Amino acid sequence: MKSSNHHHRFLAAGCALAFSLLSSMPAMSEDLPPDSIAPMGQKWAEKKAADTIRVLLVGSGSSHDFPKYFLKADSETLTKAGGMEVTATPNLEEALALLPEADVLVFSGNHDQWGTEKFQKALNQFADDGHGVIILHAGTWVHPWAGYNDRFVGGGSTGHGYGEFEVAVEKQKNPVMNGVPKTFKIVDESYRHTFSEDAKVIELAENHADGQKHACVWIVKDRKARIVDITLGHADEAHSNPAYQSILTNAVKWVAEGR
C-alpha cells in the first residue's frame, strides 16, 4: 500500500505540473476572432535545444480563420512531427520580434500589415540571411506589395474554386513530397495560380479542379534562401488532411537545411 500511495502521489504531482505548464502557455486558441491581429504572448525557449528547427508561423487577414487553422492546427502538426520548436502569431510587432531567432518562416497572411515596409524589409533580410521560407495559401495570392510576389511566389493567384479535387504529385522523389501519395483527394480552395514569365520555379504538384490544372506546390529558386510555396490550406478539411500535413512538415525540414 505504501508503494501504491507513493505511485499515486507521483502521478498526481506529474499531472499538476503538466496542467501548470499548459495553463502558463500563451493562447493559440479557436476563441480568437478569425481576423485577429492581437499579440499572443509568444516567446522562444530561453535556450534552443540541439538539432531543433525553430519555426515561426505568421498569418492574419480576411476570408480565413487564421488563429484556428494556420496558427493552432499547423503548430500542432509541426510539433507532433518532432524536432521543432514552434511559435505563431497574427501580430506584426510580435512577428518582427520573433523572426530574428527563427530558422524557418511559414507565412500565410493577407492583412495590410504584412505589406508594410518594415515587415517586407524583415522578410527579405530573413531570406538574404539564408533562412527557410514557406509561403502558404493566402500568402500565394497576388498582393500589392512591391517585389513580394516576384521573389517569394513567382507569380500569384487571382481566383479559386472550392470543393473536393485531386492533387497530382509531379516530382515524388523531391524531399518536399516524401511519403506523399502520387495522387490524393482534398476538400479545399483550388487556387488558380499563374507563374510570371520570368519565374524560376520547380513545380512539385498540381491541383486538378474544374477541368483545369494549376500548380499547388512548388519551389521558387532563390540565390540565398530555400523557398517553398503551397496553395493548399483553406480550412479544417485541408489542415487535417494527412497529405497536406506531410507536405507542410517536409517543406519545413527541407527549407531548414539551407540554414
Q: Which helix (H) or strand (E) holds 87?
A: strand 84-89
Mean of the per-residue pLDDT values for the chain?
A: 91
Q: Cβ of 185: how many Cβ atoms within 10 Å?
A: 12
pLDDT digits (tens, 9 = 90+) for 231-257: 999 999 999 999 999 999 999 999 999
Return the CATH number at 72. 3.40.50.880
**pLDDT value of position 259:** 60
For the chain, the domain total comes to 1
**pLDDT value of position 30:** 55
Q: Which residues of 14-49 are buried (b: 16+ CB within 10 A; e: fewer)?
A: eeeeeeeeeeeeeebeeebebebbeebebebeeeee
pLDDT digits (tens, 9 = 90+) for 2-52: 444 444 454 444 444 333 333 334 455 557 889 899 999 999 999 999 999
* Domain boundaries, position 43: 3-256
Spatial distance between the Cα atoms of 217 and 90, rounded to a whole number of angstroms = 23
For residues 50-67, give the mean pLDDT.
Answer: 93
**pLDDT value of position 25:** 40
pLDDT digits (tens, 9 = 90+) for 177-208: 999 999 999 999 999 999 999 999 999 999 99
Residues 30 and 230 sit within 8 Å (Cβ to Cβ):
no
